[in-house]
Structure 1
Amino acid sequence: MQQLSRGARLTWGATCLLLFGLLTWAVAVDQPLLRRLDDRGAPVEAWATDIGWLREALAIVEDLFGTVGITAYVVVLAVVLVALSQRAAAVLVVLVTGLTAAATTGVKTWVGRDRPDWQDPGDLLTNFAFPSGHASSIVALMGVVLVTTVLLVRPVGVRRLVWLATPLLVVLVGLDRVLLGRHYPSDVVGGYLLGAGVLLVCWAVVDPPATSRAVDAAPLPEVYTSARQLAVVVNPSKVDDLAKFTATVTAMARAAGWSEPTWHHTTVEDPGAGMAEAAAVAGADLVIVCGGDGTVREVCAELAGTGVPVGIVPAGTGNLLARNLGVPLLLRSALDVALSGQDQAIDLVEVDGDGMELTHFLVMAGMGFDAAIMEGVNEDFKKKVGWLAYVVSGFKAIMFPPVRVEVSIDGGEWTRHRARTILVGNVGYLQAGMPLLPDAAIDDGRLDLVLLHPRRLGSWIPLAWRVIARRPRTDDLVNRKTGATISLRASAEAPRQLDGDAIGPGRELHMRCLHGRVLVRVPR
């Protein structure tokens, strides 16, 4: 749908409206062929159900997608889109549904077709039948939901759910109208054609681009003396349609005044460092990275200290860095921030330990339960269900045994602790948006440590409450510390992770915050 041109939308929209016009004429003159197709009489009358439980279920569907229900859904959707700075999309939603409702009412009044005689006499609808308002409005609403999802939402799981749910709801509402005896089949078909025609024509007129806060901000001072060079590092496994993604980035870059992007695809052997180095050596003024937190970490670490800003297009499951920086998860909005946002210097964390080479992280390092979750995630399952794979893995590992660990802050004395999970964070919000480190800031030159030690299964409930409520008290259940350097030393090997990627078991992690080392693009 994203590649459907304005001309194609107008053509298909006009076709739907033409077919609707022909059907309206046939209904108005009571055309014999239509009467036979409508099969008015015993056969269609037999479709109307008199099964009590089924009629009750159909009545619920009727109420859910009646005028009041559709209006409520439209208002909620429009408000959400405005809150996400997608004002053009909100205008499209209101325009399509409003025009469809107005056209439906006008044609109903002009044609004046009576309802079928076989409605339930205890629950009669007496207004005119053609076209079905339920049918036209459900097509209009589901159409704008589908359009905005395709244009603005990146997670493949969400898009698949919408692609499956929208046609099912359209069919369900159409069947509901006939099975309740509210409409003839041609009433429903007419509603479908009207809703689809209005949708396509309006979409051709109002083509919503994704916007972000950068659009409304004052322009930044121009510091470039030549054409601005753009490089894109992308993890192909995280992009559903690479050709479409390439076309979108290229078009938006050109509109924002950037050069034709140079493309660098990550590989299993090189998850991003080599590509970032090649982009910097080639003189890139901006490097956009599209991938998960692991890919973002590799690119940012390679470009640390170079002065080359990094624009983030989140395409992973967690996208923790993007969330903490306020970078939108919507594809076009994230691209807009990357191309037109402002630069912010953030901290990079240098980390090493037993059995691992010196490396870096941007979001967090962990040892114990949280790392066991990362190790236990099935990658194929994660591709299908997204973040739910972490929930499943979490339930499996929920009683991971506690770790005996020693902690040293800023080279001070080692203190002994017991914890099921130990997290060192560079940001405040970690997995599932939990404010595990509420005082952490990504640009303060310090690291924040939290040790969680629920002794039994029931202890997770008060722990979760204290985290969500941001209770400052520290004890054996929730303990927090902060410093520029943090070292961990466990009594036995434990699972470890960096930015959500398992790095294998070990006993030690030594971390040092490198203040303001990386430039990233954030919303203005």
Structure 2
Amino acid sequence: MTDRSARWLLTWAAVLTGVFLFLGVAVSAGWQALLDVDANLSDPIAGLVAHHAHVITGLHWAELLTGTVAAELTALVGAVLLGWKGHPRAGVYFALVNALTIVSVHLLKAVFDRDRPAWQVVDHILHNGSYPSGHAAWATSIAGSLGVLVSMLVRKAPVRRVLYSALVLSVVAISADRLLLGRHFLTDVIGGAALGGVWVLLVLALYSPVPRSHARRLEPLLATTPSGKRDLHVVMNPIKVEDLDAFRSVVVQMAADAGWSEPVWHYTTVEDSGTGQAHEASVAGADLVLVCGGDGTVREVCAELAGTGIPVGIVPAGTGNLLGRNLSLPLYFRSAIDVALHGQDKAIDMVTLSGDGVEDTSFLVMAGMGFDAAIMEGVNEDIKKKVGWIAYVLSALKALMFPAMKLEISVDGGEFTTHRARTVVIGNVGFLQGGMPLIPDAAIDDGQLDVVLLYPRKFLSWLPLAVRILTKQKRVDASLTRFTGTRVVVRSSADVPRQIDGDIIPSGRELRCETVHGRLLVRVPR
């Protein structure tokens, strides 16, 4: 919806305004044909529940829970949450749409001053204006503005469809409540919905919820490439983007606006998930490589470009996007591209990794043995494609009591110490999906590795352990142990699942990791 032109939005806003005014003027002027239709349709609907006290009680509670106060709180809380999650313009849009709807409903009820139906079926009879229905208006404005934000922020089409359906059903349910209680005529509900839709479209035409570009908000940075030479290469995993042509056109347009060359495109394949494509970009003399994909693709590209001095702009397009989240990169495509083109360069650490049955490689986020790797191993890829991170939750529930491992750990060449754990994580960053602070002191540019061992002894032991992690408690004991160093060796007494940056590697008994300080340049927000 955010890519619609202002003309398109204003046209449909005008159409809905016409519907609203036509119905309002017609019922106020006493157009008998419309009044008869209203009565013949609305009265029988209220009669369906007139003699069912329990149903009426439930409908009345629904009326109270979706009233004016609820709408005002939703507008306020929704705007605050959107701002807190890094979408201030979306928060302003949401607040404006719903505030204007609430205010206009109260003003227009007085203007049209239509009497309520005579067949209200609850004891507490309402006497204020019937046209338009306030509940229908703000149900539509809340659902409509949320729908706009869903189209902007939710990438997976199946998830968007589920959310759209839920929003539409909520409007239908609230509107039905008004008719079943006899609070409104059908035209009141239609007019209210039209009014809410007007504000959704009108505000969107005049104020975009899309984040503003760095280039418009901040002073330009000093140029780091030779005058006249700004070669942009893009490495992308094509299966991670629903509309490839639309994505390409956005990148081309934004790059041109920022003074970059026509992008050179490199697509990953099943056989080569980013290494070869990044090498081609490097050899061709790229001044910036933009990578669009999941954590695996990002890792391959970054590993190839480490030490070259070529900055990497990351457009997170996977399910976890752990590196992007830990670098505070936006998940909205346009904003991430904007950061890549206009952000500042930051030197971050990489971690070399080796072990039994594993070719020497590197990672940026974290490696793990045990429970966390079992989660990755057990993810159903079909479910993951449809619902994203929920697939990890389902896999975690199945693997929750992964058997304890007997481990030996050496930090910075010290003596091995013996431990028991259900999972061990070697982290270059501190936060998991959803902002869970597994390693709160970890920093991606401090030259240090942070190791965490988790050992909940019983099923219910996960609960207090989760509380300690979420509240960032630093206390260590047998259930939670932490180490810090530049070199870490972890050995298990038996073969166990292993993962790096969320990708499964062959099961084995050992991981050897060492941090390489400031090895890679990435673009981050200013």
The change in CA–CA distance for 1:335 and 1:171 in structure 2 (over 3 A counts) is: same
Q: Is the 8 A contact 1:347 1:515 kept in 2?
A: yes
Following the alignment from structure 1 to structure 2, what is the Cα–Cα distance between the partners of residues 456 and 300? 40
- Which secondary structure does the structure 2 equivalent of 1:329 belong to? coil
Q: Is the 8 A contact 1:405 1:418 kept in 2?
A: yes
Which range is displaced more, 10-19 or 82-91? 82-91
Following the alignment from structure 2 to structure 1, what is the Cα–Cα distance between the partners of residues 83 and 133? 30
Query: What RMSD, in angstroms, separates the aligned Cα atoms of the two structures?
Result: 2.4
Q: How does 1:334-483 map to 2 (within 5 A)?
A: 334-430=336-432, 433-483=435-485
Gaps of 5+ in 2: none
* 1:5 counterpart = 2:8: no
Give the superposition deviation at 1:279. Answer: 2.0
* 1:165 counterpart = 2:166: yes
- Which secondary structure does the structure 1 equivalent of 2:506 belong to? coil
The change in CA–CA distance for 1:92 and 1:483 in structure 2 (over 3 A counts) is: closer
- Which secondary structure does the structure 1 equivalent of 2:291 belong to? strand
Letter in 2 for 1:339: L
Q: How does 1:175-254 map to 2 (within 5 A)?
A: 175-211=176-212, 216-224=217-225, 225-254=227-256
Q: Provide the residue aligned with 2:97 in structure 1.
A: 96
* 1:122 counterpart = 2:97: no
Equivalent position to 1:312, from 311, 314, 330: 314
The change in CA–CA distance for 1:16 and 1:152 in structure 2 (over 3 A counts) is: same
Letter in 1 for 2:483: K
Following the alignment from structure 2 to structure 1, what is the Cα–Cα distance between the partners of residues 462 and 93? 45
Which range is displaced more, 155-164 or 287-296? 155-164
Q: Is the 8 A contact 1:211 1:332 kept in 2?
A: no
Which range is displaced more, 448-457 or 343-352? 448-457
Give the superposition deviation at 1:210. Answer: 1.6
* 1:519 counterpart = 2:521: yes
Give the superposition deviation at 1:171. Answer: 0.8
Following the alignment from structure 1 to structure 2, what is the Cα–Cα distance between the partners of residues 329 and 171? 31
Deviations 1:107-139 (A, max 9, x none): 322322111000136211101111112112211
Q: Provide the residue aligned with 1:488 in structure 2.
A: 490
Give the superposition deviation at 1:60. Answer: 2.3
* 1:19 counterpart = 2:15: no
* 1:273 counterpart = 2:275: yes
* 1:39 counterpart = 2:3: no
Following the alignment from structure 2 to structure 1, what is the Cα–Cα distance between the partners of residues 355 and 271? 22
The change in CA–CA distance for 1:268 and 1:170 in structure 2 (over 3 A counts) is: same
Give the superposition deviation at 1:320. Answer: 1.4
Q: Is the 8 A contact 2:409 2:490 kept in 1?
A: yes
Deviations 1:394-424 (A, max 9, x none): 2222222222232232333333333221211
Q: Is the 8 A contact 1:373 1:390 kept in 2?
A: yes
Which range is displaced more, 467-476 or 124-133? 467-476
Give the superposition deviation at 1:431. Answer: 5.2
The change in CA–CA distance for 1:211 and 1:153 in structure 2 (over 3 A counts) is: farther
Following the alignment from structure 1 to structure 2, what is the Cα–Cα distance between the partners of residues 42 and 85? 47
Q: Is the 8 A contact 2:49 2:55 kept in 1?
A: no
Following the alignment from structure 1 to structure 2, what is the Cα–Cα distance between the partners of residues 414 and 85? 43
Give the superposition deviation at 1:88. Answer: 3.5
Q: Provide the residue aligned with 2:79 in structure 1.
A: 78
Which range is displaced more, 266-275 or 213-222? 213-222
Gaps of 5+ in 1: none
Give the superposition deviation at 1:514. Answer: 1.2
Give the superposition deviation at 1:104. Answer: 2.9
Which range is displaced more, 179-188 or 80-89? 80-89
- Which secondary structure does the structure 2 equivalent of 1:511 belong to? strand
Following the alignment from structure 2 to structure 1, what is the Cα–Cα distance between the partners of residues 216 and 385? 33
Q: Is the 8 A contact 2:421 2:453 kept in 1?
A: yes
Following the alignment from structure 1 to structure 2, what is the Cα–Cα distance between the partners of residues 423 and 90? 36
Following the alignment from structure 1 to structure 2, what is the Cα–Cα distance between the partners of residues 465 and 378? 28
Deviations 1:146-169 (A, max 9, x none): 112222344556533431221111
Letter in 2 for 1:417: H
Letter in 2 for 1:428: G
Following the alignment from structure 1 to structure 2, what is the Cα–Cα distance between the partners of residues 261 and 12? 36
Following the alignment from structure 2 to structure 1, what is the Cα–Cα distance between the partners of residues 427 and 384? 24
Deviations 1:353-403 (A, max 9, x none): 121211111111111121111111111122233222222222222222222
Deviations 1:469-523 (A, max 9, x none): 4443444332222222212222221111001111121122121211111111112
Letter in 1 for 2:152: L
Letter in 2 for 1:28: S
Letter in 2 for 1:145: L
Following the alignment from structure 1 to structure 2, what is the Cα–Cα distance between the partners of residues 347 and 509? 18
The change in CA–CA distance for 1:275 and 1:52 in structure 2 (over 3 A counts) is: farther
Report the TM-score, using the length of structure 2 for normalisation.
0.93
Q: Is the 8 A contact 2:50 2:121 kept in 1?
A: no
